[in-house]
Chains A and B, each alone.
Chain A
Amino acid sequence: MSSRGKTGTLTRRQLLSGAALGGVSLTIGCRLGRSSAWEFLSDEQARTLAALCDQVVPADDFPSASQAGVLDYIDRQLARVYRRHRAAYSDGLVRLDTLSRTRFGRGIAALSVDLQFQAVTAFAEQDKSFFELVRNHTLEGYYGSPRHGGNRDAVSWRMLGLAEPPIRGRAPYDLTKGSTS
């Protein structure tokens, strides 16, 4: 038996048993280790970010940013296209919480909406570039395409009076007439 054949067998064996172990450990491990419902954010970061986003787009008769899924948008992008902004978020959210604790004695997520507004107003002054980043990402999520997780059910477009999906009849090319039917 050549060593080559043995390697091949082992590889397959490793693969299968690895998969089996994976299956079992996933069932157990995932349940124990489920620290966050998010891809990148921790639950605590998500609560802080939600408070910030909901000041950028607050609820009125239409949903707030987080109600429309903007956190999903930001979280998914931080795991993908916006990987380059991860450090900014990790650090910036700590600074926001510090500001909130220093001035109001509690993390921003635990403040009343009025105090959250005051905290974010102060934060927007103090931490311009991070605030701008979150502000832009929030508005992208809220007013962008629903497929990215924000603007759930195209709610912001309906708020603006835009039909989504729009009602548009097809425009076929009628070969028998050389024109539309």
Chain B
Amino acid sequence: MRSLLQFAALVAASLAIAVTCALSGASYYYSSQHGQGCSSCHEMAVYGAGMHGSAHRNGTCLDCHEASLATKLRHIRVHLTRTWPETIRLRESDVFAMTPNCQKCHQQEYASWHAGPHAATYTQIFTNAGQNSRQHLMDDCLRCHGAHFNGAVRDLVQPQNEQGPWRLVRSDLANQPTIPCQACHQVHSHGTPQTRPAARISVGDEPIPDSLAFYDRREGEHFAVAALALPVLHEGARMVSVSPDPRSALCYQCHAPRPPDTGTPAALNGWGSQAGSGDDRTPTGVHEGLSCLSCHGGHNQNARASCKNCHPRMSNCGLDVEKMDTTYADAKSPHNIHWAHCEDCHQHGIPARENAPASPLHGALAGN
């Protein structure tokens, strides 16, 4: 009996020592080198180096990355057994764990994003009865909604039919955003630290930061906006003037036009991709040439307030710009602000230039 007690005590003591060692060892490892100790393993070196050159260089790895004891021990096992993947990437859960950490510093951006449509959750997107009874669920949905989800659409939502009711197979994702910060931002990118959080994404003449980048689900990589293409678009046979703003290339990855569909006039005449096809909303007509970001904010996409940036409170026709019907949801509406043409309002012909109000902008557009 005595020996049994002794043995139990010994076991308990050694367990306690082991746990302490494990905790302190792992914690020391992670907190060493000013919080960037984890990048001293060579497989992590390149990521540490990326962080060193980024706007976040003054932070530590653990400011953004979650590292529970279990995670730390897993890292150690992977390192010792040399079983890290060919390309080390954030896992799905890492991405979601990071969002609150972004919020800690970028509060305005977070609030703005959270109030906008791009913060829609997995429940909102994938169990939407109106959507699912109209269109089939498919893997390609995940290209934009849920780019970080690690699986196929059938692993995410069931049943895969048009009757429903639909439920998330992965109920843990119910309230996670389908377009998290990392969908449009890469953190380990070249940049300089700012002394205080930016009030807004400022552009002006500053170079576009590499942190603005599209997460391509297929490659599992971010592509900085400077590397992204802008579309070549047509309205009928006419080539549309597309804004050269590189930031809008990010929007075009999801709000993308389609090649001409079989049987359409564009296909029969060989006109090329049409503005407004698919999910594209490139402006044609009076707003042609404007960038998405001329009107839409980067984090909150509400554009209502932006009309006043260019127009006086009353429009050229005497309409109150804040009350104009500028529906965007219906692509065919003549009020759709993306492709309002002069003749949509001027149904009896466009007034001659000398009669036009003395607005240099209006004059320039009418002269086009």
Contact = CB atoms under 8 A, between A and B. Distances in A.
A–B interface present (Cβ within 8 A): yes
Interface of A: 1, 9, 12-13, 16-17, 19-24, 26-27, 30-31, 34, 36-39, 76, 79-80, 145-149, 153-155, 158, 163-176, 180-181
Contacts of A170: 140-141, 143, 256, 258, 278-279
A147 B85 CA distance: 11
Interface string B184-223: 0000000000000000000000000000001010111101
Given A20-B22, A24-B29, A169 B79 contact: no
Contact of A148 (B37, B79, B86, B278): B86
Contacts of B121: none
Contacts of A180: 261
A13 B11 contact: yes
18 contacts: A17-B17, A19-B73, A20-B18, A22-B76, A23-B21, A24-B29, A27-B40, A30-B41, A37-B42, A76-B87, A146-B219, A147-B221, A153-B224, A164-B227, A167-B231, A167-B257, A171-B258, A181-B135
Nearest to B25: A23
A163 B229 contact: yes
B45 interface: yes
B76 A167 contact: no
A27 B45 CA distance: 14
A13 B14 contact: yes
Given A26-B41, A165-B218, 15 more contacts: A19-B25, A20-B26, A26-B76, A30-B41, A36-B42, A153-B223, A154-B219, A164-B223, A167-B256, A170-B140, A170-B279, A171-B140, A175-B162, A181-B134, A181-B135
A26 B21 CA distance: 13
B136 A30 contact: no
Interface in B1-37: 4, 7, 11, 14-15, 17-26, 28-29, 32, 37
10 A-B pairs with the lowest CB-CB distances in the bound complex, closest first: A169-B278, A23-B25, A20-B21, A163-B229, A16-B18, A169-B258, A20-B22, A24-B25, A169-B256, A23-B26
Given A19-B73, A170-B279, A165 B223 contact: yes
A39 B43 contact: yes
A13 B11 CA distance: 8
A147 B220 CA distance: 7
Interface residues on B, range: 35 or more
A175 B160 CA distance: 13
Contact of A26 (B29, B141, B252, B261): B29
A154 B41 contact: no
B124 to A, nearest CB: 18
A168 B14 contact: no
A173 B131 CA distance: 11
A79 B28 CA distance: 30
A147 B87 contact: yes
Given A31-B40, A34-B40, A175-B134, A16 B22 contact: yes
Nearest to A36: B42
Interface string B35-60: 00100111101100000000000000
B267 to A, nearest CB: 13
Contacts of B231: 167
